[in-house]
Amino acid sequence: MSATERGRPRVVVVGGGFAGLQAVRKLRGAAVDVTLVDRQNFHLFQPLVYQVATGALSAAEVAAPLRAVFKRQANARVVLAEVNGFDLDQRQVVLDHLPNGAREERLDYDTLVVAGGSRYSYFGHDDWMARAPELKSLSGALDIRNRILTAFEAAEVEPDDERRRSWLTFVVVGGGPTGVEMAGQIAELARASLRRDFRQVDTRSARVLLVETADRILTGFPPSLSHKAERALEKLGVTPLVGHTVVNVGSDSVAIRSGSDEVEDVGAHTVIWAAGVAASPLAATLASAIGSEVDRAGRLTVTADLTLPGRPEVFAIGDMVRIAQSDGTILALPGVAPVAMQEGRYVARVIRNRLSGRATKEFKYVDKGNLATIGRSKAVADIKGVRLAGFPAWVTWLVVHLFYLIGFQNRLLVVTRWAFSFVTHGRGARIINETK
Amino acid sequence: MSATERGRPRVVVVGGGFAGLQAVRKLRGAAVDVTLVDRQNFHLFQPLVYQVATGALSAAEVAAPLRAVFKRQANARVVLAEVNGFDLDQRQVVLDHLPNGAREERLDYDTLVVAGGSRYSYFGHDDWMARAPELKSLSGALDIRNRILTAFEAAEVEPDDERRRSWLTFVVVGGGPTGVEMAGQIAELARASLRRDFRQVDTRSARVLLVETADRILTGFPPSLSHKAERALEKLGVTPLVGHTVVNVGSDSVAIRSGSDEVEDVGAHTVIWAAGVAASPLAATLASAIGSEVDRAGRLTVTADLTLPGRPEVFAIGDMVRIAQSDGTILALPGVAPVAMQEGRYVARVIRNRLSGRATKEFKYVDKGNLATIGRSKAVADIKGVRLAGFPAWVTWLVVHLFYLIGFQNRLLVVTRWAFSFVTHGRGARIINETK
């Protein structure tokens, strides 16, 4: 796994998320050999993962196999492994947990692009994770799907009123787009999709609590849209608890602190985590390698061309970085797909320009707007100051998401399934998987 | 969970496979209250499970949620639980592992239908199961998918020639329809779908061994079709080892004994089990309750109307039974979906006739033929003596399977995916899932 036979510069990209994927794609045809390293064999279309968590889509519909994505890109190869560290002086990536059982391999690079992404943080309470799975990875979403469906099954056979109420109470932590979308979907599941599935229990009596510490949900949007979204959620049957904080997660209850500092224990078996952000640990690994530090969210600070200070051959992009701009300010862009994709494309452009000896201007993020869906035909959109809500926003959301779904086959399947769901309120992937 | 409020006879059906599902469906509108008990929340279209194991279909496409299937059948309800035993005198089913955590519940019945199905047997070597997962359940298929895809990933990074060869050797145990279909699919995966996915390794060099103890594969078919199938498999790149038996499964090798009693250790990391049949343990539970015994395959013997001797209110059907016919012979029907479905429908007819005081003739199986697919556009069919092979048999197979796929949405998605796969050789569900 060392030097390229053709003597071309070796580009190693760590992470097959939105940032890494775009970097590799935009190097297609360039005179470099690209190796993409990821611990998973698929690119995850993270904005739709919440739909897997409610059975609206199946796992394969939001996951594109990396090898299939790069099948026809001759200068790209994929290695399935974890990244354990970097030797910046030797210009090597240290791999671990290779699929053949090998534990340490070193991968030489001439240019390194690290795009490790981020995860949700449990505010220092990692022990809550087992009881409140995160809604970001595919495995998290499948875990949540099993729990939600099992909760309704449990309510169906539960003779005790109070315990039945706990089974029918769902707490979503975090009022960002993912939490909002998730809460809306659970309410729709209970009100529409599952309504006629059960005989003993009325699924419409399910409670969905959306807990957000800030004084409004969707803080990335203007306040007027946040309030519209809150009202739309309430109509769907969600109770938005803004100004509230989860202070403990038990096995069958959640302690929620209100703005007036009162703590209430809410009986709930199903808690879904979509709050806090922590950058990939690779950010800290890189920071310590260059004697720098990460911020409170674990993010590394890169220069205005997205490289490490003093290491122009090492790029770091996506959710795990902040950008030190040339005017001295530090820019923390939101952790959304468009930012990651633009950074990935920028890096590919810099690499191409360097091959031909050209300079590249600093990275500039072009904000194309902000979208969040709330439920069936409801959404909010803030596009260059134009604010939409309701059906027009939802159609915009639909078109944008389908456009960006990687792989034509997935797109067609997703449309087929969505068309059915829209007409029938059905959710075809409503299976509780045996997990081993 | 006891008597029905309306005073209608209570029918409890154990098992939501082909037999149980048909029994419940055909009781639609009858003056009974039906409870279907299954430990899983979905009906599995078992004849297509092997396609999940190679990523051609995703899990939700071969699994129909039971509650969705019976949404509009007002006299049917579903309970998710394991069945631990029966109290035939008290007319109760003993449930365990309910979704709310309850450990013992009793379900009263007036009529009981037990359709527990079967599983593969490991010839008394249950310790092989961890190394050679079975291709019958959904979880088995997902496990196999992870292993097959990981094996190619491992080969890609494996520097040692011999070990790489082990990673690229796949052993399928059992030359019945499932084993044949699986071996054909792995060969196609290696020859076509994955061919351009890898850069270091030539996936076409993969070896697929199909091990069958009998002197030909597909023993349920006439010898001429077995031999045609063997030749078709060879063309695909499968090596059929008829007259061979697996005598040990190691962590990276399989010991195979040939007809001449020589034992060869074949280096192989991926072993897939599709051999032997063992009836559900519920067969033995019922047998001991009536002082009877099971046969070597664990099957219970029922009377010609599919009830237990001396217990006309208890039916047992599907893969877990043999039938004592009125002429004294014992009939062991093949463990295929058409048999199970006909038995399920027969039981519903008997129950309906009893409600109106009518007698029902003995159960008679109508053999509509036998089908097995081998690969892309190849199959064998034996339909009332008409023997087909190649493309005509494959089209027959396709039509029959789509016709019987439960649920219209699934059918459309499966057709969409198949159409794509046929044109592109692609396999969209080719993801290695994190399992927890």
3-state DSSP assignment of residue A295: coil
pLDDT confidence of residue B174: 97
Judgement on whether residues A137 and A87 belong to the same structural domain of the protein = no
Relative to beta strand B378-383, strand B370-375 is antiparallel
Domain-located, residue B25: yes
State how far residue A83 is from chain B, nearest Cα, in angstroms.
15
Chosen for mutation from B39, B67, B149 (greatest number of chain A CBs closer than 10 Å) is: B67
Contacts of A288 (CB under 8 A, 6+ apart): none
Domain boundary, last residue among A221, A247, A275 = A275
Q: Which chain B residue's Cα is nearest to A160?
A: B100
Quick one: pLDDT at residue A412?
Answer: 67
Query: B-chain residues within 8 Å CB-CB of A131?
Result: none
- Written as six digits, the tokens of B313 are 């209110």
Q: Give the residues across from A253 on adjacent strands.
A: A267
C-alpha radius of gyration, chain A, whole number: 23
pLDDT, one tens digit per residue, over A219-277 is: 999 999 999 999 999 999 999 999 999 999 999 999 999 988 999 999 999 999 999 99
**Closest CB to B412 among A58, A200, A416:** A416
A1 — pLDDT class (breaks 50, 70, 90): very low
Give the neighbor-by-neighbor strand order of the sheet with B370-375: B370-375, B378-383, B386-389
Of B68, B167, B435, the CB nearest to A430: B68
Binary contact (A154, B101; C-beta < 8 A): yes
Place of tokens 């399977």: B401
Cβ separation A79–B157 shorter than 8 A: yes
Catalytic residue among A181, A188, A230, A343: A181
CB A147 within 8 A of CB A153: no
Name residue, tokens 């519903």. Answer: B348
Residue A302 resides in a domain: yes
Decide if A79 is inside a domain.
yes
Confirm whether A158 is domain-assigned: yes
- Distance from the A430 Cα atom to the nearest Cα atom in chain B, whole angstroms: 6
- The Cα–Cα gap between A78 and A301 comes to 27
Nearest to B176, CA basis, from B272, B61, B283, B261 = B272
In tens, the pLDDT along A320-370 reads 999 999 999 999 999 999 999 999 999 999 999 999 999 999 999 999 888
Task: Indicate if B181 belongs to the active site.
Answer: yes
Q: Which of A24-38, A415-429, B401-415 ranks highest by mean pLDDT?
A: A24-38
Torsion A335-A340-A341-A342 (CA) sign: positive
Residue of B nearest to A74 (CA): B199
B149 contacts in chain A (CB < 8 Å): 41
Distance from CA of B188 to the nearest CA of A (A): 16
Please tell me which of the candidates A149, A430, A435 has its beta carbon nearest to residue B436. A435
CATH of the domain at A143: 3.50.50.100
> Which strands, in side-by-side order, build the sheet including A270-273?
A238-242, A207-212, A169-173, A270-273
d(CA A101, CA B157): 10
User: Vertex B332, ends B331 and B337: CA angle to 5°?
Assistant: 125
Q: What is the pLDDT of residue A209?
A: 98
A436 touches chain B (CB under 8 A): yes
For residues B13 and B113, is the Cβ–Cβ distance under 8 A? yes
Pair (A250, A174) in one structural domain: yes
Please tell me the distance in Å from B100's CA to the nearest CA on chain A.
4
Radius of gyration in angstroms for the set of CA atoms belonging to chain B, rounded to a whole number = 23
Query: Rounded to 5 degrees, what are φ and ψ at A333?
Result: -75, 155
Residue A33 in this model has a pLDDT that exceeds 70: yes
Average pLDDT value for residue range A155-160: 95
Same domain for B317 and B351, yes or no, is: yes
Higher-confidence position of A432 and A277: A277
What is the band of A124 on the pLDDT scale with cuts at 50, 70, 90? confident
Q: How many CB pairs under 8 A join A and B?
A: 174
Q: Is A100 in contact with B41 (Cβ distance < 8 A)?
A: no
| A419 located within any domain | no
Q: How far apart are CA B150 and CA A40, in angstroms?
A: 10
Rounded Cα distance between B359 and B362, Å, is 10
Query: Between residues 63 and 102 of chain A, which touch chain B (CB distance below 8 Å)?
Result: 63, 65, 67-68, 71-72, 77, 79-81, 98-102
A285 and A243 within one domain? no
Domain boundary among B307, B324, B355: B355
| Chosen from B66, B163, B413 to mutate, greatest number of chain A CBs within 10 A | B413
Closest-CA distance of chain A to residue B366, Å: 33
CB A267 within 8 A of CB A162: yes
| B306 and B267 housed in the same domain | no
Task: Give the phi and the psi of residue A371 in degrees, each rounded to 5.
Answer: -135, 140
CA–CA separation, B313 vs B113, rounded Å?
8
- The three-state secondary structure class of B47 is helix
Structural contact between residues B233 and B374, judged by C-beta atoms closer than 8 angstroms: yes
Q: Most B CBs within 10 Å: which of A6, A44, A67, as the mutation test of the B interface?
A: A67
Residue with tokens 């979503």: A172
What is the per-residue pLDDT for B410? Answer: 66
Q: Total structural domains in chain B?
A: 2
pLDDT confidence band for A420 (50 / 70 / 90)? low
Distance of alpha carbon B172 from alpha carbon B144, whole angstroms = 11
Residues A93 and A218 in one domain: no
Other Cβ atoms less than 10 A from the Cβ of B82: the count is 13
Mutate to test the interface with A, among B157, B169, B194 (most CBs of A within 10 A): B157
Q: Looking up tokens 């993409």, which residue turns up? A: A36
Residues of A in contact with B102 (CB under 8 A): 157
Put simply, whether B198 touches A (Cβ < 8 Å) is yes
Do B138 and A433 meet the contact criterion of CB atoms below 8 Å apart?
A: yes
Average pLDDT, chain A: 91
Distances in whole angstroms, Cα of residue A404 to Cα of each of A52, A408, B286: 17, 10, 56
Q: Is the pLDDT of residue A117 over 80?
A: yes
pLDDT given at position B409: 60
DSSP 3-state of B421: helix
Which residues fall within 8 angstroms of residue B22, CB to CB, at 6 or more apart? B340, B341, B342, B343, B344, B345, B348
Distance (Å) from the alpha carbon of A112 to chain B's nearest alpha carbon: 20
Within 10 Å of residue A266's Cβ, how many Cβ atoms?
19
Q: Is the pLDDT of residue A2 over 70?
A: no
Q: Tokens for A421?
A: 């769901």
Task: Assign residue B297 the CATH number of its domain.
Answer: 3.50.50.60
DSSP characters for A273-294? E----EE-HHHHHHHHHTT---
d(CA B19, CA B318): 6
Query: DSSP assignment, residue A134?
Result: B
SS3 of A20, please? helix
Same domain, B130 and B116: no
- How many alpha carbons lie under 13 Å from residue A227 in its C-beta half-sphere? 3
pLDDT of residue B318: 97
Q: How far is A413 from chain B (nearest CA, A)?
A: 7
The enclosing H or E element of A10 equals: strand A10-14
Q: Residues B204, B155: contact at Cβ < 8 Å?
A: no
Position B218 in a domain: yes
- Res A62 pLDDT > 70: yes
Nearest to B143 among A154, A156, A436 (CB): A436
Mean pLDDT of A12-39: 97
Domain identity same for A116 and A137 = no
Q: What is the mean pLDDT of residues A206-210?
A: 98
Mutate which of B5, B41, B152 to disrupt the A interface (most A C-beta within 10 Å)? Answer: B41
A153 contacts on B by Cβ (under 8 Å): 41, 80, 99-100
Q: How much is the pLDDT for B55?
A: 87
Option in A71, A100, A194 nearest B196 (CB) = A71
Which 239-298 residues of chain B touch chain A by CB within 8 A? none
Q: Tell me which DSSP letter residue A8 carries.
A: P
Tell whether B426 is within 8 A of chain A (Cβ).
Answer: yes
pLDDT tens for A362-417 read 999 999 888 888 877 788 999 888 898 888 888 888 888 877 776 656 666 676 66
Written as one string, the DSSP assignment of B137-189 is SHHHHHHHHHHHHHHHHHHHH---HHHHHHHTEEEEE--SHHHHHHHHHHHHI
| A390 to chain B, closest Cα gap in Å | 28
Residue B212's pLDDT is what?
Answer: 97
Look at B434 and A138 and tell me if their CB atoms are within 8 Å: yes
Q: Are residues B271 and B130 in the same domain?
A: yes
Contact B430 A41 (CB under 8 A): yes
Q: Which chain A residues contact residue B146 at CB under 8 A?
A: none
B317 Cα to chain A: minimum distance (Å): 25
Of the candidates B59, B105, B426, the beta carbon closest to that of A431 is on B59
A105 interfaces chain B, CB cutoff of 8 Å: yes
DSSP B263-276: EEEEE-SEEEE---
- Domain match, B18 and B141 both: no
- Domain with A134, as residue range(s), is 126-275
Q: Would residue A387 count as lying in a domain?
A: no
Residue A65 to residue B435, Cβ atoms within 8 A: no
Predicted pLDDT of residue A310: 95
Among B233, B256, B275, the domain boundary falls at B275
What pairs with residue B31 in β-bridges?
none
Do B257 and B171 reside in the same domain of the chain?
yes
- Cα distance between residue B136 and residue A114, in whole Å: 41
- Min mean pLDDT across A16-25, A34-43, B192-201, B303-312 is at B192-201
Among the listed residues B61, B134, B158, B181, the single catalytic one is B181
Q: Residue-wise pLDDT tens for chain B (436 aa)?
A: 444 556 899 999 999 999 999 999 999 999 999 999 999 999 999 988 999 999 888 888 888 899 989 989 999 999 999 999 999 999 999 999 999 999 899 999 999 999 999 999 998 899 999 999 999 999 999 999 999 999 999 999 999 999 999 999 999 999 999 999 999 999 999 998 888 899 999 999 999 999 999 999 999 999 999 999 999 999 999 999 999 999 999 999 999 999 889 999 999 999 999 999 999 999 999 999 999 999 999 999 999 999 999 999 999 999 999 999 999 999 999 999 999 999 999 999 999 999 999 999 999 999 988 888 887 778 899 988 889 888 888 888 888 887 777 665 667 667 666 666 666 666 667 777 654 3
A154 closest CB neighbour out of B77, B99, B139 = B99
B307: left (phi over 0), alpha (psi -120 to 50) or beta: beta
String of DSSP letters for B303-372: -TTSEETTEEEEEE-GGGEEEE-TTS-EE---SSHHHHHHHHHHHHHHHHHHHTT---PPP------EEE
User: Domain for residue B379, yes or no?
Assistant: no
Angle at B392 between CA B403 and CA B241, to 5 degrees: 100
Cβ distance B409 to A424 less than 8 Å, yes or no, reads: yes
Same structural domain, A232 and A336:
no
Question: Can you tell me the distance from the alpha carbon of B164 to that of B155, in angstroms, rounded to the nearest whole number?
Answer: 5
Of A406, A403, A385, residue with least CA distance to A395: A403
For chain A positions 137-166, those within 8 Å of chain B (CB to CB) are 137-139, 142-143, 149-150, 153-158, 163
Of B77, B143, B429, the CB nearest to A60: B429
CA angle A83, A86, A87 (to 5 degrees): 145
